[in-house]
Amino acid sequence: MINRIQNTVLFFCKFIASPRSIGAIAPSGPKLAQEIVRLADVCSAKTVLELGPGTGAFTSVIACHLAADAHFVAIEADAHLALLLRKKMATVRTVAGSAEHIGRIMKSYRLPPADCIVSGLPWSTFDAALQDRILCAARDVLRPGGKFVTFSYVHALPLRQAKRFRAVIERTFATVQKSPIIWKNLPPAFIYCCQK
Ligand SMILES: C[S@@+](CC[C@H](N)C(=O)[O-])C[C@H]1O[C@@H](n2cnc3c(N)ncnc32)[C@H](O)[C@@H]1O
């Protein structure tokens, strides 16, 4: 409980300092985390990537469901959050850097193509070029049939960049499915489950 309050306070301070890059006022809740990890099929994956772990709301659930011999790398742009996550979850390889460099990062760890990518990135605050660079890089490192799973807030849906993001994932992946709304999240959200 204390941990959760600390994470929420830290997250909110990060949001105040850098609203576009953090993109949310609070970390994702447990219901969204459970559902995104279930839809990504983390249990049966051998290589799992997480983009934008923040304070680790999805990271801890991924780590719980991961097979013993699976590889798991988390990529976080905020160097301070990456450092804290490394301290909190020493078994997770946390890289401080941008998700755009996912290909280079995978090469440096000699990882095979990913079975799934779980994203916590704030797509609707990204400009078009950054959306494209990260989505292209993510698709390139996924194995055929691999899953790219991400979420969006319901209130952000009318935003131009959110609509654009939806159109780009439709073009980038073979299939895109939208989950029902998860009301037990602050703010309510839904998940896009995309398959290469
Ligand atoms: C909306 S928060 C989500 C945090 C966490 N996954 C959750 O659901 O609570 C977005 C996170 O993505 C990180 N981020 C933003 N741009 C990024 C980028 N280009 N590459 C990697 N991480 C990025 C932010 O620093 C922040 O931690």
Ligand 1 binding pocket (C-beta < 6 A) is 21-24, 27-28, 51-54, 57-58, 75-78, 81, 98-99, 120-122
**Residue 95 lies inside a defined structural domain of this protein:** yes
Q: How far is the CA of 21 from the centre of ligand 1 (A)?
A: 7
| Closest atom of ligand 1 to CA, residue 54 | 27
CA dist list (Å): 152 to 139, 144, 185, 190: 19, 24, 11, 6
Whether the per-residue pLDDT at 175 is higher than 90: the answer is yes
Query: Is 81 within a domain?
Result: yes
Instruction: Let me know if residue 155 belongs to a domain.
Output: yes
Q: Above 80 in pLDDT, residue 91? A: yes
Tens digits of residue pLDDT in 135-174: 999 999 999 999 999 999 999 999 999 999 999 999 999 9
**pLDDT classification of 53: cutoffs 50, 70, 90:** very high
Question: Which among 3, 4, 15, 22 is the best mutation to test ligand 1's pocket, defined by most ligand atoms within 8 Å of the CB?
Answer: 22
Kindly state whether residue 5 falls inside one of the protein's structural domains.
no
> Is 40 inside any structural domain?
yes
pLDDT of residue 7: 87
Task: Show Cβ contacts of residue 91 under 8 Å, excluding neighbours closer than 6 positions.
Answer: 63
- Mean pLDDT within 64-89: 97
Number of domains in the chain: 1
CATH of the domain at 114: 3.40.50.150
Which strands make up the sheet holding 175-178, listed edge to edge? 93-96, 71-76, 47-51, 114-119, 142-153, 189-195, 175-178
State which residues form the domain around 163. Answer: 28-195
The answer as to whether 137 is a domain residue is: yes
Residue 124: per-residue pLDDT: 92
Measured by CA distance, the residue closest to atom 17 of ligand 1 is 77
The answer to whether residue 17 sits within a structural domain is no
Element (H, E) at 60: helix 57-65
Distance (Å, whole) CA 106 – CA 16: 32
Q: How far apart are CA 88 and CA 179, in angstroms?
A: 30
CB 51 within 8 A of CB 103: no
Q: What mean pLDDT value characterizes the chain?
A: 95
CA of 174 relative to ligand 1 center, distance in Å: 25
Adjacent-strand bridge partners of 96: 76
In Å, how far from its chain's centre is CA 67? Answer: 19
Residue 6 pLDDT class (50, 70, 90 cuts): confident
- As a three-state string, the secondary structure of 72-93 is EEEEECCHHHHHHHHHHCCCCE
Percent of the chain with pLDDT over 90: 87
Distance 122 CA to ligand 1 centre (A): 6
Residue 87 lies in a domain: yes
Position 10 scores a pLDDT of 87
More confident residue, 40 or 14: 40
What is the whole-number distance in angstroms between the Cα of residue 139 and the centre of ligand 1? 18
Average pLDDT over residues 103-120: 97
Measure the CA–CA gap between 164 and 81, rounded to whole angstroms.
28
